[in-house]
Amino acid sequence: MDVRTRTLAWSGGLAGLLVAVVLVSAGIGPVSIPARTVAKVVLNAVAVPSGLAFSPTPVSLPLVGQTTVAAPHLSFASVFQFPVERTHTVIVRSVRLPRIVLAAFVGFALATAGVVMQGFFRNPMADPSIIGVSSGAAVGAVASIVLPFALPFGLQLQSAAFVTALVTAFGVYVLASEGGHTPTATLLLAGVAVQTFLGAVISFMLLHSGESLRRVVYWLMGHLGGATWDEVRTVLLVVPPLFVLLLTYGRDLNVLLLGEDDARSLGIEVERTKRILLAASSIVTAAAVAVTGVIGFVGLIVPHGVRLVVGPDHRILLPTSALAGASFLVATDTLARSGAAEIPVGIVTAALGAPFFLYLLRTREVHSL
């Protein structure tokens, strides 16, 4: 089979798995809802534009003041009208689906970034936080909780985490760059050094967190509780466009596995490609970590496990790992909220991921891509 056929086959299968996991997950909770009913609720939410109307809307304009303008408003009509209890509709749409969809996008993002980092560093032990993005986000989040008065421009927790994550990634890149070149070994060491320093900063703030300690620790463990559609929309604006961009660099990632000298000889603009890959994967990771906290192992074990099945070709590995990461995080979050007391999903991913990775270390070849 050619690459396109294999990609479509694997992606189609994993997309079907993701849909099944979402339907089952949305039915699990204090109120059990059959997967068929969940599917009906989701289909009932599908709507198409049915008309355009103009209605008077008050607005405030410079030099004019308060006035009224005719603003357009689209009306929508539902495509499906399946009979479903209102209670089930509210539970699925307003409570469970926002959390599940956010988990899917975050898992999608972390697995995508993990594939890029492992290919970039030519090391299956690499993960999205390897250049300090997660640590940077943690500093911003903890500072917004413990020292809110110290944040400029009135930054809130998620905004602060996103900004500090990107600043950290940029700082690591600048520290590792020399004469227009960025050696991967130097970048890796700079990332480790910055992560260690930021860990000390976080520890210092924890000492002075006082009554905020519980909230800080909960965020650092990684969680999806209280997810909203606004958070989903925020991630949606960032992750899919950058995933498409990274997908166009699948061939370049394949060539980079041969080494930078060979990549140059094959016509790859190595430094430009590395900058784009680092920037895109850092932004994707920052967007995910900013809304959920630090969730480990998704970007490490999912790409590695999928690589063992579909092979090392990044044109196939990127979409398949992303879909597998989405299913994995939805499933683990379902497990995290299904017990007598909800626990942060980061605990579950670590508890499942670490033994699985140790198993791979003992039974598989993991020291090379």
pLDDT in tens, 28-46: 988 899 999 999 999 988 8
What gap in Å lies between CA 249 and CA 154, rounded to an integer?
Answer: 37
Strands (E), the chain: 47-61, 65-78
What gap in Å lies between CA 302 and CA 244, rounded to an integer?
Answer: 19
DSSP SS3 for 352: helix
Task: Let me know whether 337 and 267 are in one domain.
Answer: yes
As given in the structure block, the two tokens for residue 338 are 């299904």
Residues 6+ apart with CB under 8 A from 122: 184, 256, 257, 369
For residue 41, tell me if it sits in a domain: no
Task: Let me know whether 75 and 151 are in one domain.
Answer: no
Contact 281, 173 (CB under 8 A): no
For residue 38, tell me if it sits in a domain: no
Task: Let me know whether 78 and 210 are in one domain.
Answer: no
Select from 369, 355, 93 the least CA-distant residue to 255: 369
As given in the structure block, the two tokens for residue 97 are 């689906």
Residues 6+ apart with CB under 8 A from 169: 131, 132, 133, 136, 278, 279, 282, 286
pLDDT above 60: residue 152: no
What gap in Å lies between CA 116 and CA 336, rounded to an integer?
Answer: 28
Residue 321, number of CB atoms within 10 A of its CB? 30
Per-residue confidence (pLDDT) for residue 164, from 0 to 100: 92
For residue 183, tell me if it sits in a domain: yes
* Residue 83, Ramachandran bin (φ over 0: left; ψ between -120 and 50: alpha; else beta): beta
Higher-scoring residue by pLDDT: 181, 245? 245
Range of the domain at 55: 49-84
For residue 75, tell me if it sits in a domain: yes
| Section 340-349 average pLDDT | 89
Task: Let me know whether 284 and 249 are in one domain.
Answer: yes
Side-chain half-sphere exposure of 159, counting CA atoms within 13 A: 7
φ, ψ at 267 (rounded to 5°): 90, 10
Task: Let me know whether 70 and 9 are in one domain.
Answer: no
Per-residue confidence (pLDDT) for residue 154, from 0 to 100: 47
Task: Let me know whether 54 and 114 are in one domain.
Answer: no
Residues 6+ apart with CB under 8 A from 90: none
Task: Let me know whether 69 and 135 are in one domain.
Answer: no
* Share above pLDDT 90 across residues of the chain, in percent, rounded to a whole number: 54
Domains held by the chain: number: 2
For residue 80, tell me if it sits in a domain: yes
CATH number at residue 170: 1.10.3470.10
| Section 206-221 average pLDDT | 87
| Section 129-157 average pLDDT | 80
Task: Let me know whether 100 and 178 are in one domain.
Answer: yes
Task: Let me know whether 60 and 10 are in one domain.
Answer: no
| Section 112-121 average pLDDT | 93
| Section 329-354 average pLDDT | 90
For residue 42, tell me if it sits in a domain: no
Task: Let me know whether 73 and 162 are in one domain.
Answer: no
Q: pLDDT averaged over the chain?
A: 87
Burial of 63 (0-12, 13-18, 19+ CB in 10 A): exposed
Using only the alpha carbons of the chain, give its radius of gyration.
22
Scanning 122-256, the segments in alpha helix (DSSP H) are 133-146, 157-176, 184-207, 213-221, 229-247, 250-256
For residue 127, tell me if it sits in a domain: yes
What gap in Å lies between CA 356 and CA 350, rounded to an integer?
Answer: 10
Task: Let me know whether 140 and 268 are in one domain.
Answer: yes
DSSP-derived letter for residue 129 is: T
Strands (E), 206-359: none
pLDDT above 90: residue 148: no
Residues 6+ apart with CB under 8 A from 218: 293, 344
Task: Let me know whether 286 and 165 are in one domain.
Answer: yes
pLDDT above 60: residue 368: no
